[in-house]
Amino acid sequence: MTNYLDPDRAQFDAFKGLDRDTPLNMLNLVRLRDVADYQSDHALSGKGLSGGEAYKNYGAASGPVLADVGGSIIWRGQFETTLIGPSDEAWDIMFIANYPNAHAFLQMITDPRYKQAVIHRQAAVITSRLIRSGPLPITDEFA
């Protein structure tokens, strides 16, 4: 059973197989650990950070990389309740990141600064969802 911290190979290949030249949004749903779980061989292990503190470290370190590739956070929300869906899925952090294209996203996750920052994310997160979507024009219709 996966804890959905990172994409598996099939998911990543599906992402890379989509159009890389169009803008995209990434819906991020994150549930945090009470206490961050750094790997024992990591320099920050045993520091006693909460999941929230570790995720803030991730945001502080990865935010500049997001900006450097032309990305930005376009929406943040606070989870309140699930009306339709699994009642056991609650989220501590919810946001949508916008990228000019998939090249920018791939550039971000391969940046050495991001690779260092993601250590904090992996220590902070119990489970997450990262959902790619393409923007559509706003209309009065749902579909």
In order of their start, the domains of the chain are: 21-133 (3.30.70.100)
The model's confidence at residue 40, banded by pLDDT at 50, 70 and 90, is low
Q: 21: which residues sit within 8 A by CB, 6+ positions away?
A: 101, 102, 103
User: How would you classify residue 73: left for phi > 0, otherwise alpha for psi between -120 and 50, otherwise beta?
Assistant: beta
With beta carbons less than 8 A apart as the criterion, state whether 51 and 124 touch: yes
Residue 20 clears pLDDT 50, i.e. is over it: yes
Model-level pTM?
0.89
